[in-house]
Amino acid sequence: MTTPATANPMKQLIVSLGLHVRSELLAYEARGRDRRVHGDSPGGDAQFDVDEVAERAVLDYLRAHAEVPMALYTEDGSYVELAPEPQILLVVDPIDGTRPTSAGLEMGMVSIAAAPYGDGAPTLADVDAACLVEIKSGAWLYGDDTEGLDSSGYPTAVPRLSRNTDLTRMFWSIEFNGHPMDLMTEAYGHLVDGSANTGGIFVFNSSTFSISRIITGQLDAYADIGNRVLRDHPDTEERFLRVGRGSILHLFPYDIAAAVHLARLAGVVITDAYGDDLGSTSLVDLGPMNQKSCIAAATPELHKQLLDSIRWDLGRAAAAPVVKEES
């Protein structure tokens, strides 16, 4: 896929950045990826060899091509000022969907969000341009507050939102990384049972891919409820830490900054799992209290039904003791 011919310098920069990261990852794949974990991100998520390639590609490209003073915040590299007194903050997840990317599957995406630097404490509501690039296909979505949505590489025009309002016919995705399985089953297992045959249920390990599939019309909804479960039931923290290998692994700001902006431009109903707006989310805070849950749906009716139908009280599952692993 090619970079758009445009007089919009931010669009040119971030679409080109996403496509550059993709090209570096494809070149690495051609040489032979090894699925090696080389450490953890500052947030505690495992970082694979492909993450290292993508992080380096982002920094090298921006150092060579950024014409406006910028600061950069990425999953592994954290905060870097590319020039003194930055005017713009780029929040980049070089690979959202590291595991599918490592497996050569379609769900890996480069996620880029841009916000005015302002007072140095920008939030998700400040994002005014965003881009997602599919690593496997090269298709991309771009949107900003001036020109709206643009895309390349999709078989039909986007956005193309579903009109489904029926939970039993819902095509949707859920998240398990860092989420205790028994708690998730207690919360929405009945919705999985009700939709798995007459609709479809998927686990993509990429929030951006999931949300973007609502924009393309391939999915009706997406749910990542871990952070609400933890907030509602703080006694489950030890269990979240256990499956997160000592860290709370919910939605970080770099996971969703671009996807939320694009979803809003597309008309997707997207909130946290309380139904509240995500705009107050700090773009540079990885702490558990700034991590988020997310419910996104193509229609307001489906969004409300999801919020109302998930079992937030959890019953005995929340009170169950932690099962200690044998050493």
Which residue from 237, 280, 255 is spatially nearest to 96, judged by alpha carbons? 255
CATH 3.30.540.10 domain extents, the chain: 9-152
Residue 228's pLDDT band, with cuts at 50, 70 and 90, is very high
**258 Cβ contact partners less than 8 Å away, ≥ 6 residues apart:** 91, 93, 111, 112, 113, 127, 130, 131, 132, 208
Residue 39's pLDDT band, with cuts at 50, 70 and 90, is low
pLDDT digits (tens, 9 = 90+) for 285-296: 888 889 999 999
**148 Cβ contact partners less than 8 Å away, ≥ 6 residues apart:** 265
Q: Is residue 185 within 8 Å of 179, Cβ to Cβ? A: no
pLDDT digits (tens, 9 = 90+) for 257-282: 999 999 999 999 999 999 999 999 99
CATH 3.40.190.80 domain extents, the chain: 167-319
Q: Which residue has the tokens 């988020």?
A: 292
CATH T-level assignment (fold) for domain 9-152: Fructose-1,6-Bisphosphatase; Chain A, domain 1 (3.30.540)
Distance, CA of 63 to chain centre: 25
pLDDT at 3 over 80: no
Assigned token pair, 318:
């929340």
Mean pLDDT (the chain, rounded): 90
CATH number for the domain formed by residue range(s) 167-319: 3.40.190.80
Q: Is the dihedral of CA 126, 128, 131, 132 positive or negative?
A: positive
The predicted pLDDT at position 239 comes to 96
pLDDT at 5 over 90: no
